[in-house]
Chains A and B, each alone.
Chain A
Amino acid sequence: MSEEKNEKMQDADEVVQGRRDFLKHVCTSSAAALVAATTPSEAVDNASNPDADVTVAEFFQGHFLLMSEEEKLQAIARLEKRYSAQYSKKTTVSNAPAPDGVLFGYALDISKCIGCRRCVHACVKENNQSRNDPEVQWIQVMKMPKGNIAFTADQLDKGYPEKSEFGDYGVQVGGNAYKTAGLSTEDAQNYYNDELVPDKDFFYMPVQCQQCEKPPCVKACPVRATFRDHAGVVLIDYNWCIGCRMCQLACPYHARRFNWGEPHLPAEEMNPKTHYFGNRPRMRGVMEKCTFCAQRTREGRNPACQEVCPVGARKFGNLLDPDSDVRRVLATKRVFRFKEEAGTYPKFFYYIG
Chain B
Amino acid sequence: MDFLHKSPAIVALALCGVLATGVSAVNSAHAAEEKPAAAQNAQPVTDCFESRIGYSSVTRVENADPKYGYPNVKCSQTTGAVLWWGDPFDGTIPMGEMPDISDSTRGDFDHAVVKPREPQLQYFNMGPNGCETCHNGKMVPFPKDSKPRLIGMHQDIVENSLKLMHGRGALWCLNCHSATHRNHLIDRQGNEISFNQPQKLCGGCHGENYIDWRAGVHGKRIGSWATGGKKRWWVCTECHNPHTVQKARFNQLKPESPPPLPRGMKNADYERAGDAKH
Chain A residues with CB under 8 A of B134: none
How many residues of chain B have a CB within 8 Å of chain A? 55
How many residues of chain A have a CB within 8 Å of chain B? 69
A195 to B253, CA, bound (A): 8
Contact A120–B40 (Cβ < 8 Å): no
Indicate if A343 sits at the interface (CB-CB under 8 A). Answer: no
Chain A residues with CB under 8 A of B41: 266, 268
A120 to B259, CA, bound (A): 9
Contact B259–A297 (Cβ < 8 Å): no
Stretch at the interface among B90-98, B185-193, B224-232: B224-232
Contact A312–B219 (Cβ < 8 Å): yes
Contact A117–B258 (Cβ < 8 Å): yes
Across the two chains, which residue of chain B brings its CB closest to A321? B227
A297 to B217, CA, bound (A): 19
Across the two chains, which residue of chain A brings its CB closest to B278? A145
Q: Chain B 81-114, CB within 8 Å of chain A: the 1/0 string?
A: 1111100100000000000000001001000000
Shortest A121–chain B CB gap in Å is 5
Contact B84–A304 (Cβ < 8 Å): yes
Q: Chain B 248-273, CB within 8 Å of chain A: the 1/0 string?
A: 00101111111111000000100110
Indicate if B167 sits at the interface (CB-CB under 8 A). Answer: no
Residues 238-287 (chain A) with a chain B CB within 8 angstroms: 266, 268-269, 271-273
Shortest A319–chain B CB gap in Å is 11
Shortest A103–chain B CB gap in Å is 12
Indicate if B221 sits at the interface (CB-CB under 8 A). Answer: yes
Shortest B85–chain A CB gap in Å is 6
Contact B217–A189 (Cβ < 8 Å): no
Partner of A191, one of B85, B223, B250, B259: B259
Chain A residues with CB under 8 A of B178: none
Chain A residues with CB under 8 A of B10: none
Indicate if B239 sits at the interface (CB-CB under 8 A). Answer: yes
Residues 15-63 (chain A) with a chain B CB within 8 angstroms: none
Contact A190–B259 (Cβ < 8 Å): yes
Indicate if A176 sits at the interface (CB-CB under 8 A). Answer: no
Across the two chains, which residue of chain B brings its CB closest to A308? B83
A269 to B70, CA, bound (A): 10
A316 to B231, CA, bound (A): 13
Contact A312–B218 (Cβ < 8 Å): yes
Indicate if B157 sits at the interface (CB-CB under 8 A). Answer: no
Stretch at the interface among A71-79, A133-141, A152-160: A133-141
Contact B229–A300 (Cβ < 8 Å): yes
Indicate if B51 sits at the interface (CB-CB under 8 A). Answer: yes
Contact B40–A266 (Cβ < 8 Å): yes
Residues 100-119 (chain A) with a chain B CB within 8 angstroms: 114-118
Chain A residues with CB under 8 A of B274: 145, 148, 186-187, 189
Chain A residues with CB under 8 A of B76: 118, 121
Chain B residues with CB under 8 A of A301: 88, 223-225
Partner of B216, one of A133, A140, A315, A353: A315
Shortest A253–chain B CB gap in Å is 16
Contact A135–B81 (Cβ < 8 Å): no
Q: Chain A 314-352, CB within 8 Å of chain B: the 1/0 string?
A: 011110010111001100110000000000000000000
Indicate if A3 sits at the interface (CB-CB under 8 A). Answer: no
Indicate if B18 sits at the interface (CB-CB under 8 A). Answer: no
Chain B residues with CB under 8 A of A308: 82-84
Indicate if A235 sits at the interface (CB-CB under 8 A). Answer: no
Shortest A272–chain B CB gap in Å is 5
Chain B residues with CB under 8 A of A89: 69
A114 to B277, CA, bound (A): 22
A209 to B229, CA, bound (A): 26
Indicate if A218 sits at the interface (CB-CB under 8 A). Answer: no
Chain A residues with CB under 8 A of B70: 273
A118 to B52, CA, bound (A): 12
Contact A272–B225 (Cβ < 8 Å): no
Indicate if A311 sits at the interface (CB-CB under 8 A). Answer: yes
Contact A306–B222 (Cβ < 8 Å): yes
Contact B105–A190 (Cβ < 8 Å): no
Chain A residues with CB under 8 A of B220: 309-312
Contact A196–B256 (Cβ < 8 Å): no
Contact A307–B278 (Cβ < 8 Å): no
A271 to B85, CA, bound (A): 12
> Assuming A147-B278, A306-B222, A310-B81, is B256 touching A116 (CB within 8 A)?
yes
Task: Specify which of B68, B88, B105, B218 lies most central, judged by the most chain A CB atoms within 10 Å of its CB.
Answer: B68
A89 to B65, CA, bound (A): 14
Contact B217–A125 (Cβ < 8 Å): no
Contact A307–B261 (Cβ < 8 Å): no
Contact B250–A189 (Cβ < 8 Å): no
Contact B88–A328 (Cβ < 8 Å): no
Residues of A near any B CB (own CB < 8 A): 89-90, 92, 114-118, 120-122, 125-126, 131-135, 137, 140, 145-148, 186-198, 201, 266, 268-269, 271-273, 297, 300-302, 304, 306-312, 315-318, 321, 323-325, 328-329, 332-333, 353
Question: Can you name 15 A-B pairs with beta carbons within 8 Å?
Answer: A114-B253, A132-B36, A146-B278, A191-B268, A193-B255, A198-B252, A266-B41, A272-B69, A273-B70, A297-B225, A301-B224, A310-B253, A312-B218, A318-B226, A325-B216
Residues of B near any A CB (own CB < 8 A): 36-37, 40-41, 50-52, 68-70, 74, 76, 81-85, 88, 105, 108, 212, 215-227, 229, 234, 239, 250, 252-261, 268, 271-272, 274-275, 277-278
* 5 cross-chain pairs, A with B, having the tightest CB-CB distances, nearest first: A312-B220, A191-B268, A187-B274, A117-B256, A196-B252
